[in-house]
């Protein structure tokens, strides 16, 4: 996984079209639809903390976990009173449990092995209360194959130009991304920064299997920002899973 050391400086600028308020409302509506009203939520791969901030505004206590110190530094600036943990999502170790968990904006796609996905599911189950929900989204194989593919994109904002180049690996469903940032300084000259990101797309069937193997019951799979089944051209799927962990298990020692 990329450490997002350079990307963190420009993440919020490049993600400014993401409506985090609407996404927070959507996630909470899914919790409610499936019988949950969480007072506390774990945000896995929380990035610069935008979703956490929206959940806090809605009265939900949040714990943000991210492997990037640079990303978390941005999050702390926005919401210093929240609990932020610099941890790899595969090795999460919370101080207690939460009512539910979320992982959004394709963060799980950055794990390119099914064993790593399964490990995240196991760790999340340890810290979600019995019967609690885990809601996450993923880029689909269709998006990797047909939308990202071997394409290049240019994003230009005031003082920053980003050139985003992809290389699609059909044998694994992965997309290797090279991000070049050109930042204007006070003299009108541009300095170049770069970062790399690698993502893998997983099928709905694979993710359902991994959830079942790690103690989760898949309740629903939706097309992003809807309550409809994914279509053949769906670019992002949203999974709602319930922990099958029992109260007896939860009272035992976490290993």
pLDDT higher than threshold 80 for residue 184: yes
Residue 255: the pLDDT is 47
Residues 6+ apart with CB under 8 A from 98: 38, 40, 41, 42, 63, 127, 128, 129, 132
- The rounded distance, in Å, linking the Cα atoms of 41 and 128 is 9
158 DSSP 8-state letter: T
What percent of the chain has pLDDT above 70?
A: 96
Residue 6: the pLDDT is 55
SS3 134: strand
pLDDT higher than threshold 90 for residue 57: yes
pLDDT higher than threshold 50 for residue 2: no
Q: Averaged over 116-134, what is the pLDDT?
A: 98
Q: Give me the domains of the chain, ranges plus CATH numbers.
A: 7-139+203-250 (3.40.50.150), 143-200 (2.20.25.110)
Residue 236: the pLDDT is 98
- The rounded distance, in Å, linking the Cα atoms of 160 and 13 is 9
Q: Averaged over 2-31, what is the pLDDT?
A: 81
pLDDT higher than threshold 70 for residue 4: no
- The rounded distance, in Å, linking the Cα atoms of 131 and 242 is 6
Poorest-confidence range of 57-71, 87-101, 118-132, 182-196? 182-196
What percent of the chain has pLDDT above 90?
A: 82
pLDDT higher than threshold 50 for residue 1: no
Nearest to 207 by CA among 137, 255, 159: 137
**What sign for the dihedral angle of Cα 72, 138, 62, 56?**
positive
Q: What is the pLDDT of residues 145-156, one digit of tens each?
A: 999 999 999 988
pLDDT higher than threshold 80 for residue 13: no
Q: Averaged over 162-168, what is the pLDDT?
A: 95
pLDDT higher than threshold 90 for residue 199: yes
pLDDT higher than threshold 80 for residue 174: yes
Residue 5: the pLDDT is 54
- The rounded distance, in Å, linking the Cα atoms of 199 and 167 is 11
Q: What is the pLDDT of residues 72-83, one digit of tens each?
A: 999 999 999 999
Poorest-confidence range of 5-19, 49-63, 86-100? 5-19
């Amino acid at each position: 996984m990329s450490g997002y050391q350079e990307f963190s400086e420009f993440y919020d600028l490049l993600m400014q079209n993401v409506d985090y308020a609407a996404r927070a409302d959507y996630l909470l509506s899914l919790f409610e639809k499936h019988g949950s009203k969480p007072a506390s939520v774990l945000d896995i791969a929380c990035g610069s903390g935008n979703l956490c901030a929206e959940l806090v505004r809605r009265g939900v206590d949040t714990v943000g976990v991210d492997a990037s110190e640079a990303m978390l530094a941005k999050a702390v600036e926005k919401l210093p009173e929240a609990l932020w943990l610099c941890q790899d999502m595969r090795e999460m170790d919370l101080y207690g449990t939460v009512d539910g968990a979320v992982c959004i904006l394709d963060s799980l796609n950055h794990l390119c092995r099914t064993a790593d996905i399964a490990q995240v599911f196991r760790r999340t189950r340890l810290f979600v209360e019995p019967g609690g929900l885990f809601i996450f989204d993923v880029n689909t194989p269709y998006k990797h194959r047909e939308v990202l593919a071997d394409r290049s994109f240019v994003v230009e904002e005031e003082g920053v130009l980003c050139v985003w180049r992809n290389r699609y690996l059909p044998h694994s469903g992965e997309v290797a991304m090279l991000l070049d940032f050109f930042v204007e300084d006070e003299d009108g000259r541009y300095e170049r920064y770069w970062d790399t990101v690698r993502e893998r797309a997983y099928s709905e069937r694979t993710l359902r299997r991994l959830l079942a193997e790690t103690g989760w019951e898949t309740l629903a799979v939706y097309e992003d920002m809807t309550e409809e089944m994914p279509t053949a051209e769906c670019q992002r799927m949203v999974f709602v899973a319930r922990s099958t962990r029992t109260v007896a298990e939860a009272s035992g020692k976490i290993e």
